[in-house]
Structure 1
Amino acid sequence: MTADVPRHTTAPRATDRPGDESPFALGLLLRRAHWHAATVMTEALRPLGVELRHFAVLIVLVNQGPTVQRDLATATGSDKAGIMRVVDDLERKGLAVRKAVPGDRRVRAVEITPQGLELFDAAHVAAEPLAERLAAGLGPGEPERLMDLLTRFAHPAGGEE
């Protein structure tokens, strides 16, 4: 028995090529843009001995202060096991520490260390020329326009993160 799937469709098929007009086109472009940006930013972080997954946690710790692992997983889109491995890595490197949460002996908050803050700042310095290269194909004012559009897309008014 076959499923009731229309044999012919009028909707464009996803191709992941420039000019794709399928309903998947925006998502596919965002995925491709993410891969490109992640490749460039990985290049900036490699000499510092960290990966994007480590840096994503450091960003949360700088923005939010000490954060429990459950909230780190949510903020970075990771799972419980993945965030534990990242925090273990950060602790081994001296970039973060786990500390007891007053009133709950089972929960540990993760906090960035002074060494972690130094690395965080060094990563921004290292990323600057690479970020310029990332936007090199855009015209005057386009990097700012792209940032504005992506910010509004990623953080819709009234939407939740």
Structure 2
Amino acid sequence: MNQDGVDLETSLGYLLKEASSVLRVAMEEVLRPLGMSVTHYSCLELLAQRPGLSNSELARGAFVTRQSMNVLLQNLEREGYVTRPAEAPVGKVLPARLTPRGRRSLEEATVAVRSVEVRMLSGMTEAERSGAFRSLQSMIRSLREGGGGSGGGAGA
């Protein structure tokens, strides 16, 4: 038990953070040979699902700062993975879209990332997978709807 009275071995928050960290490392390992990072992959995946997202929307979806996403988008645009208009159609937002090269790259990365997910779930039955999925969704919903509070906790 640490000084705050939280036993990290039984802290669900800490366990979730550790699982997230291990998942990220495994994803980075399979994406690195493809010349991608998890953030690069996340950006392409978000744009495939919702073309025209802004830098801010992409940053929120990929859990990075707007500045980091802006640098990534500039690199992806320069390398031909995404395209953005020279001028904003409305306000200052430059909506990004995948190019054919970006789509091909995403397809390859998706196979690699899916292999990590399959490996992660390999020791679970279908019922356990469904239960874990529902439990995680419930935790996310409860925290989003719970409002206020200081958050805190291990790994927060």
Q: Shorter-chain-normalised TM-score: which range?
A: 0.7 to 0.9
Give RMSD over aligned pairs: 2.5
- Secondary structure of the equivalent of 2:83? strand
Read off the aligned partner of 1:102 and give its amino acid letter.
Answer: P
CA distance in 1, matches of 2:138, 2:22: 20
- Give the structure 1 partner of residue 24 of structure 2: 38
Give the Å deviation of 1:30. 1.1
Give the Å deviation of 1:54. 0.9
Per the normalisation by structure 1, the TM-score is 0.74
Aligned residues: 142
From the two aligned structures, give the one with the greater strand fraction: 1
Choose from 56, 66, 70 the match for 1:84.
70
Which portions of structure 1, spanning 4 or more consecutive aligned residues, are displaced by more than 3 angstroms? none
- Give the structure 2 partner of residue 6 of structure 1: none
Change (3 A) 1:130 1:71: closer
Choose from 32, 46, 49 the match for 2:35.
49
- What runs of 5+ residues in structure 2 fail to find an aligned partner? 146-156
CA offset digits 1:53-105 (Å, max 9, x no partner): 1111112211221111122222223222111111122223321122233243x
Change (3 A) 1:80 1:126: closer
Read off the aligned partner of 1:115 and give its amino acid letter.
Answer: R
Structure with the greater relative contact order (CA < 8 A, sep ≥ 6): 1 or 2? 2
Give the Å deviation of 1:49. 0.8
- What runs of 5+ residues in structure 1 fail to find an aligned partner? 1-10
- Give the structure 2 partner of residue 3 of structure 1: none
Per the normalisation by structure 2, the TM-score is 0.76
- Give the structure 1 partner of residue 140 of structure 2: 154
8 Å CA contact retained: 1:40, 1:134: no
- Secondary structure of the equivalent of 2:94? strand
Read off the aligned partner of 1:110 and give its amino acid letter.
Answer: A
8 Å CA contact retained: 1:62, 1:112: yes
- Give the structure 2 partner of residue 26 of structure 1: 12
